[in-house]
Structure 1
Amino acid sequence: MIIECVECRRHVDASVQGAFLRTYGGRAPSSLFSLLACTECFSPILIRQTNIGNIAEGDIWDTPQLVFPTTDLRINPKAPQDIRLAFDEASNCYRANAFTASAIMCRKTLEGICAAHGVEERNLARSLQKMHEQGLIDDRLYEWSDLMRTAGNEAAHGVGLSIQREDAKDILEFTNAILDYLFSYRDRFEAFKDRRKGARPVENAPATRTMNLGSESPAEI
């Protein structure tokens, strides 16, 4: 399998050492984890692929995603496929030093995030504003996303403008943070709240009855 080794920074035909198939009980596409070995520096590499096939076509595994060595960029497999692909392309552009292209793909990822939540206004600025108004993103995430939208616009339309590595890294990581919040932490928090609503309050233990024995002794009771 051709893949980039993080350790030696080379594209190698890594050898497969083992595999594990994880299913989600029909709630999400299955994932295939493969343990590889770099043929240049012999470092271990763990990748994940999502099954994008169907009953008619059979199993079709998408582009391998690096799991180990760990990186700061992760995306929940429950996120829609087009969003994952857009963010993967943004990450690949960054690794290829195509920083302007990475910023543009981050902007495209933001558009996909809005669409996935049923928000498709006449432009991305209005869509993000509506996401904010609906409480889907808070003040800080709205500020981040709107700034990334502006940077993406400049990258796409400014012929003489180039995004530098440091800015591209920040844009990529901020996009990843928004993905984490909307497709991981927000969903988990809503599920947590639903569980708490269904939880029964612990009943108070019955009060202990106190008997007034007065001056009587135990033998006289």
Structure 2
Amino acid sequence: MIIHCTECRQYVEASEAGNYWRHFDGREPSCRYTLLACTACQSPILVRQTNLGNMAEGDKWDTPFVVFPQGDLRVNPNAPKNIRAAFEEACTCYRSQAYTASAIMCRKTIEGVCTEHGVTERNLSASLKQMKAEGLIDERLFEWSDALRIVGNEAAHGVGVSIGQPDAKDTLEFTNAILDYLFSYRDRFEQFKKRRAGEA
């Protein structure tokens, strides 16, 4: 399996050292965990894959998601596939020191977030304002998202503009925080409130 090793910072043809299958339980699709060994530095790598197949097609596994070790950057597995792909590309650009390209892909990720929530205004600025008006994001997340939009605009439209490493890192981390909030913590908090209301 070809995978990116976060220890030696390169793509390697990792060797398989073990595996574990979690079978379909009626709610979640089956998934498999594979323990790999980096052929360059011998570091262990644990990846997870979800079965996207069905009875007719058979097993069909998605792109491996690195569970361990967690690198300095990670992609929320609960985010939709197209949004994960955009953010993964932003992370790849950052690791390659293509900081301007990373900022552009973060902006694209935020656009995807708006579209995923059914908000498609005439431009990203208007979409973010609509997201706030609908209560999908609060004032703080709106400020973060709008700052990401501005950095992305500068990166995309200013030929002479280059984004430095500190701004690119902050852009990645803010984008990741937005993905975590919208695709993990918001739903978990709503479930928590419902559970607490039921116990009251």
Residue 103 of structure 2 corresponds to 103
**Partner Cα separation in structure 2 for residue 7 and residue 53 of structure 1:** 32
Larger Rg: 1
Contact 1:28 1:78 in 2 (8 A): no
Query: Gapped runs of 5+ residues in structure 1?
Result: 202-221
Shift of the alpha carbon at 1:181?
Answer: 0.6
Residue 42 of structure 1 corresponds to 42
| Aligned-partner residue type, residue 153 of structure 1 | N
Residue 94 of structure 1 corresponds to 94
What value does the CA root-mean-square deviation take over the aligned residues? 2.0
In terms of mean alpha carbon deviation, does 50-59 or 108-117 score higher? 50-59
Corresponding position: 1:61 with 2:42: no
Residue 175 of structure 2 corresponds to 175
Q: TM-score, normalised by structure 1?
A: 0.82
Q: TM-score, normalised by structure 2?
A: 0.90
Corresponding position: 1:157 with 2:177: no
Closer, same or farther in 2 for the Cα pair 1:157/1:28, shift >3 Å? farther
For the residue of structure 2 that corresponds to 1:58, the secondary structure is coil
For the residue of structure 2 that corresponds to 1:190, the secondary structure is helix
Residue 212 of structure 1 corresponds to none
**Partner Cα separation in structure 1 for residue 24 and residue 107 of structure 2:** 30
1:164-199 CA-partner distances (Å, limit 9, x unpaired): 221111111110000001111100000111112222
The runs of 4+ residues in structure 1 deviating greater than 6 Å are none
Q: Provide the aligned length of Structure 1 versus Structure 2.
A: 200
Residue 8 of structure 2 corresponds to 8
Contact 2:6 2:71 in 1 (8 A): no
**Partner Cα separation in structure 2 for residue 25 and residue 108 of structure 1:** 35
In terms of mean alpha carbon deviation, does 3-12 or 27-36 score higher? 27-36
In terms of mean alpha carbon deviation, does 59-68 or 135-144 score higher? 59-68
* Matched ranges for 1:1-221 at <5 A: 1-22=1-22, 25=25, 27=27, 29-199=29-199, 201=200
Shift of the alpha carbon at 1:86?
Answer: 1.1
**Identity %, equivalent residues:** 67
| Aligned-partner residue type, residue 5 of structure 1 | C
Shift of the alpha carbon at 1:51?
Answer: 3.4
